[in-house]
Amino acid sequence: MRWFYLIFDLVTSLALIIYLGFLIFDMLDFIIKKIPPLPTFSSVIPPLLKAMEDKEKKVFIDLGCGTGRVLLAVKKRYPETQVIGYEIWPSQFLRAKIKFFIRGLKADIFRKDLFKADLKEADIIFCFLLTSFMKKLEGKFQQELKSGAWVVSNTFQFPTWKPVKIIPTGKKQSGTLYIYQKE
């Protein structure tokens, strides 16, 4: 029994050291790239899922998926949907991968710059990104998305693209969902 506790202590200590390493790497990433993590409020998820009810959703992509909260909600509600996430923060990326692994659900989560993401198969793209990203992404979306694809932006709008639908999330601090459709 003593060996069990020794191994348990070793494994948990190692996991903690690895996680702290990721947190330090995250801080350095933030200092260099100036990209803060923006976690999506849980109050945003129900209106998002409801909006998706009548939309084709074979491929759902979350740009800046964080810990995978939105991806997980979409996968649970629409199990047939392929969910793909892109996250640059190492600790967030790791937490998202672990969440799906523990639950035995399939998701493609990449630690990759969202501007290098392949979006041509997406039916719905979700993003909660700062205004500075929205202008750059607008051009990428107009070039790469297939006709009829949706972009759902939490809180932040595109500079020139007009939303086809605006959905209040019900709570002031969690923002508004803006739905855009590629023509």
How is the chain split into domains, by residue range? Answer: 1-34, 42-181
- Packing angle of the helix pair 69-77, 90-103 (nearest 10 deg): 30
Q: What CA–CA distance (Å, rounded) separates 129 from 45? A: 16
Examine the pLDDT at 15 and tell me if it is beyond 80: no
**pLDDT reported for residue 68:** 95
Q: What CA–CA distance (Å, rounded) separates 175 from 169? A: 6
> Whole-prediction pTM value?
0.82
Examine the pLDDT at 6 and tell me if it is beyond 80: no
What six digits make up the tokens of 178?
Answer: 């803006």
CATH fold group of domain 42-181: Rossmann fold (3.40.50)
- Give the pLDDT confidence of 28-45 residue by residue, as tens digits: 666 655 666 677 888 899
**pLDDT reported for residue 37:** 67
Please provide the average confidence, as pLDDT, over all residues in the chain.
87
- Give the pLDDT confidence of 139-176 residue by residue, as tens digits: 999 999 999 999 999 989 999 999 999 998 877 666 89
**pLDDT reported for residue 3:** 75
- Give the pLDDT confidence of 71-90 residue by residue, as tens digits: 999 999 999 999 999 998 88
**pLDDT reported for residue 43:** 87
What six digits make up the tokens of 126?
Answer: 């979700």
Q: What CA–CA distance (Å, rounded) separates 112 from 120? A: 16
